[in-house]
Amino acid sequence: MILDNLNTEQYEAVVYKNGPILVLSGAGTGKTRVLTSRFAYLVQNKGVNPQSIMAVTFTNKAASEIKNRVSKELNLSINSHWIGTFHSIFAKFLRKHCSIVGLKPNFTILDIEDQKKLIKQVISFLKLDNELNEGIILSEIQNLKDEMILSTDNKAVLRHSSIKDIDSIYNLYQERLVEINSSDFGDLLLHSYNILKNNSQILDKYKSYLDHILIDEFQDTNVIQYELIKLLLNENKNIFCVGDDDQSIYAWRGAKVENILNFPDEFKAPVIRLTKNYRSNDSILRAASEIIGHNKNRLGKKLECANKEIKNNKIILQSFYSQEEESLWIADTISNLINHKDVSFSILVRMTAQMRSIEDKLIKYALPYEIIGGPRFFERKEVKDIIAYLKLAHSNDSDLSFERIINLPRRGIGEQTLNLIIQNSRENKISFLESSRELLNKKFFPQAVSTKITLFLSLIDKCKDLMHKTNLEDFGIFVIEESGYMKMLEIEKNTKKKLENETRIENLKELVNAMSEFSNLEEFLEHVGLVNDNIKNSEKNNITLMTLHGAKGLEFDHVFLPGWEEGIFPSARALEEKCNKSLEEERRLAYVGITRAKSNLYISYATSRYTYGVNNFSVPSRFLSEMNNSVFSTNISKEGSFKSKLKYIDSESLSPGKKRMLEFLKKHK
């Protein structure tokens, strides 16, 4: 069964003898399929214990696909910690060994907002120039971590970064993370690396039983990820990588395409190339090849359509006057096609800001859709507030949560009281929660304040007690109600806020739904921590809305690519940088977007866009003219829309962008 339905090259890769190997091939050629088949093959045909295979996937969907395939084909249910994304695998590893780096097993994985808060605290503690933007500092620290540069290696930090005082900020930030028993995303990998590197006993133990390492989307691994893998590799060097240099789209997050390019030499590994594409029709593949052909920096490969059953529908190209019209058309088109349950639709945007108007129209058409990635549910304010209660109930050390909720809803506990609690906690090296308890016992506060703090602490105690006694759903409802949070939302009188609060209430109800899917709080909080990294398996809804970056590895029957305008796609930043490197990365992103489609691809752009109260005219993306006319459907209503657009061109002052637009229009007339 496992080896059925594989072509010759795929078969060769799946049954490859042991040792390092690279499968390098274009989109939709079955790389992920080969990887999951290899896993099943090793277990079934080679008797390898599933627990001794590490399979790093890019999405949780691919991870569950491996688990499902193995359980279906081998009738074996596997619950391995070694199948998943880098972050999910090493979060589990770190929980096991965290004491070595000074963390307790219930450590929290901080999200971006909490990380920023911490950076802000650090900057103010160090009495540094407050003009520094914590977002920039944070992403710099993340870069340093991706590059495997430790906070203790001051010289390397300063060599790598030009941000003033970055060394002391990074240092104190790391100290504080440990003090509040927390880890950020970078630390999940960096701590794991250090634990393995500095403890040969632990490393040897893992090396002795992890006998195979399989990695999907290898082109997007960064330094720390690759070094971790190499560290874990034992003398058999069974490393099986699959990837596509044309789909390297995470350089901005530290991904090194060199990892895949140098792999064959570094490991003296053979390379297997798959050329047959089973996903997309011929027009889609031709368009993808034409666009990516404009990149100079690539190994180059051919895509040949092998799926004869797929209809060769041409690509539909549309232009609109405004973004609103464009979104309306997307919703309208989907609503005309959606009668089949098993047809999937995806709308892939370059920027999350594009999502709002599309969402709006999908709602208008009452179409069931799901946003993947993007503005995350767990990052909404009200959701975060309630999660702060959960975190504090779960761990006394969660100082950021304490700070967030001590006076939310308002309990009359002011800034001054909080500062006293914080000061006492710093002096005695105890958590904020313990500090408030201690001060209370010492009768440090005036009676009125004491009563308020006592009430708050007894609420937290009740939560701590209840969380072991009831299911998570009931526990969630208890927290939302007993904290007074729901009441606070309900009693709002201001009409505008009232409406907003209704959405918030809905969100909290949804939070309880989310909690009900977990058996304990720890698992739920771990999920929340990792959710940024997750791409949800969208079984419920067959319309998904996400960014192009999040769509890697996925496929859909109908794919909409809106906003193909200069400044949006390619992005303004890529254009400003005026270097080929960023433009080539944008082009790879276009290639990823196009190749997500199986049979129907829709590309569109608006000639004007309303942002920040200003209506800006825009010109079509240069990527459009990089595709041959013959890939587009002849039915496109180019005439009408293009003519209307011509009105807006001021021929007196032709900018390079406008010139390109005119050329484009001429070509497509």
As annotated, the active-site residues are 31-32, 216-217, 247, 596
CB of 110 to ligand ATP, least distance (A): 30
Closest to ligand ATP by CB, 553 or 570: 553
Among 32, 346, 425, 595, binds Mg ion (CB under 5 A): 32
Q: Does 550 bind ligand ATP (CB under 6 A)?
A: no
Indicate which of Mg ion, ligand ATP, none lies near residue 384 (CB less than 5 to 8 Å, by partner kind): none
Q: Phi/psi at 133 (nearest 5 deg)?
A: -90, 125
Q: Kindly report whether the peptide bond that precedes residue 409 is cis, defined as omega within 30 degrees of 0.
A: yes
Which strand (E) or helix (H) includes residue 41? helix 31-46
**Which residue's CB is nearer to ligand ATP, number 29 or number 106?**
29
Token pair of 624 as six digits: 């459009």
- Which helix (H) or strand (E) element contains residue 505? helix 495-516
289 binds, among ligand ATP, Mg ion, none (CB under 5 to 8 A by kind): none
Site size for Mg ion (CB under 5 A): 3
Contacts 24+ apart (CB under 8 A), 76-81: 76/43, 76/50, 78/50, 78/51, 80/50, 80/51, 80/53
Q: Which is nearer to ligand ATP, 4 or 415 (CB)?
A: 4
Q: How far apart are CA 22 and CA 259, in angstroms?
A: 11
Nearest approach, Cβ of residue 563 and Mg ion (Å): 25
Cβ atoms of 547 and 374 within 8 Å: the answer is yes
Kindly tell me which residue out of 20, 529, 553, 562 binds Mg ion, with binding defined by CB under 5 A: 553
Q: Does 10 bind ligand ATP (CB under 6 A)?
A: yes
Supply φ then ψ for residue 595, to 5 degrees: -80, 5
Site for ligand ATP in 17-46 (CB under 6 A): 27-33
Q: Which of residues 481-540 bind ligand ATP (CB under 6 A)?
A: none
Considering just the CA atoms, what is the radius of gyration of the chain in Å? Answer: 27
Residue among 170 and 278 whose Cβ is closer to ligand ATP: 278
| Least distance from Mg ion to the Cβ atom of residue 380, Å | 31
Cis omega before residue 446 (within 30°)?
A: no
C-beta of 555: minimal distance to ligand ATP in Å? Answer: 6
112 vs 529: CA distance, rounded Å: 10
DSSP assigned state of 519? S
Which of ligand ATP, Mg ion, none binds 645 (CB below 5-8 Å, type-dependent)?
A: none
Write each residue from 276 to 315 as x if it is in contact with ligand ATP (CB under 6 A), else as -, in one continuous string: --xx------------------------------------
* Interface of this chain with ligand ATP, residues 123 to 182, rule: CB under 6 A: none
| 5 is a site residue for ligand ATP (CB under 6 A) | yes
Q: Determine if 244 is a binding residue for ligand ATP (CB under 6 A).
A: yes
- Does residue number 59 form part of the binding site for Mg ion (CB under 5 A)? no
Task: Please identify, using beta-carbon distances, which residue of 31 and 298 lies nearer to Mg ion.
Answer: 31
CB of 531 to ligand ATP, least distance (A): 22
Q: With DSSP H G I counted as helix, E B as strand and the rest as coil, what are the percentages for the chain, rounded to 5?
A: 55, 10, 35
Q: How far is 143 from 187, CA to CA, in rounded Å?
A: 12
Comparing CA positions, the residue from 385, 415, 384 lying closest to residue 484 is: 385
Beta carbon of residue 2, minimum distance to Mg ion (angstroms, whole number)? 18
- Binders of ligand ATP among residues 576 to 635 (CB under 6 A) are 595
Torsion angle of alpha carbons 266, 272, 276, 280, nearest 10°? Answer: -30
The Cα 274–Cα 489 span in angstroms is 56
Shortest distance in whole angstroms from residue 31 CB to Mg ion:
5
Interface contacts to ligand ATP, rule CB under 6 A: 5-7, 10, 27-33, 244, 247, 278-279, 553, 555, 595
By CB under 5 A, name the binding residues for Mg ion: 31-32, 553
